[in-house]
Structure 1
């Protein structure tokens, strides 16, 4: 599967709350800055397909606002429940711009959040 780097935002303009949710090439993406760096995950809880970006991020993990499962931002690994891991996307800073590498293939139904 091929992937493409997409410019997201200038590093200096990253939100003070430490996260940004966006849609890139059909993918819902959550990018967060933790004490360990910048990380990007698919913005979809693997339990009930909710947007994970509305949850809190603490100690490098995002918490699902629906049921409290926690997922490590760095690896996508579920650490607070028995759910599938989140898909992660590579992140880099090039020329002061934060970029995210997204698959060229559109997300399948099992990758899309339920957005009400």
Structure 2
């Protein structure tokens, strides 16, 4: 599967709240700045398909706003519940710009959040 780097925002303009939600090539992407650096995951809880970007990020993990499932931002691993791990995306800062590497292929239904 081919992937492409996409520029999101200048690093200095990253939101003070530490997270940024965006849509790139059909993918819903949540980028968070944690103590470990920048991390990006598919913005979809693997339990009930909720947008994770509406949840809290604490100690490097995002919490699903529906049922409290927690996922490590760095690895996508589910640490608060018995759910499937999140898809992660590579993140880098190139020439002062935050960039995310996402698949060129559109996400399947099992990768899309329920957006109300």
May I ask how many residue pairs the two structures share in their alignment?
Answer: 116
Tell me if 1:30 matches 2:30.
yes
Map Cα deviations across residues 67-93 of structure 1 (whole Å, 9 max, x no partner).
001000000000000000000000000
In the alignment, which residue of structure 2 is the partner of 1:100? 100
The two structures have a TM-score, normalised by structure 2, of: 1.00
- Give how far 1:95 is off: 0.1
- Structure 2 residue runs of 5 or longer lacking an equivalent are none
TM-score (norm 1): 1.00
Q: Distance in 1 between matches of 2:46 and 2:98?
A: 26
SS state of the match for residue 28, structure 2?
strand
Q: Which residue of 2 aligns with 1:67?
A: 67
**Partner residue, 1:16:** 16
Task: Name 2:2's counterpart in structure 1.
Answer: 2
Q: Which runs of 4+ in 1 moved over 6 A?
A: none
Q: Which whole-Å CA distance do the structure 1 matches of 2:60 and 2:115 have between them?
A: 25
